[in-house]
Structure 1
């Protein structure tokens, strides 16, 4: 997965503690991880799903595809 860097600048975590997003993988699936709240948002068909209901905690996961 490689999202457009401009898109990453525009996207924001919907959590009140939002911060910068980075691309990574969780269980082999692409995700965007918020560096402030440590939530992983799924990316489906190259479309980031930035909904808190879809996010899962990312802490303790091995970074495998960091940008």
Structure 2
């Protein structure tokens, strides 16, 4: 994810702005980190450069399904 993308993203739950916390990046993009809502506090992970903005319940359901199917 490119850093400037955070300027146009909004929380999918309450539409407030997001803040970016980076845990790994290269010269071009953020590879891992977290986008956190400034209003409701919900956190959205960035994994392998891809922000996951699914609501928490859907994100958990997809993670559970991926673990049951071996990650596929």
Shorter chain as normaliser: what TM range? Answer: 0.5 to 0.7
Where do 4+ consecutive residues of structure 1 move more than 4 Å? none
Q: Which has the larger radius of gyration?
A: 2
Q: Which runs of 5+ in 2 are unaligned?
A: 24-31, 61-72
Q: Which runs of 5+ in 1 are unaligned?
A: 56-67
TM-score normalised per structure 1: 0.59
Say which structure, 1 or 2, has more relative contact order (CA 8 Å, 6+ apart): 1
TM-score normalised per structure 2: 0.56
Q: How far is the alpha carbon of 1:18 from its aligned partner? A: 2.5
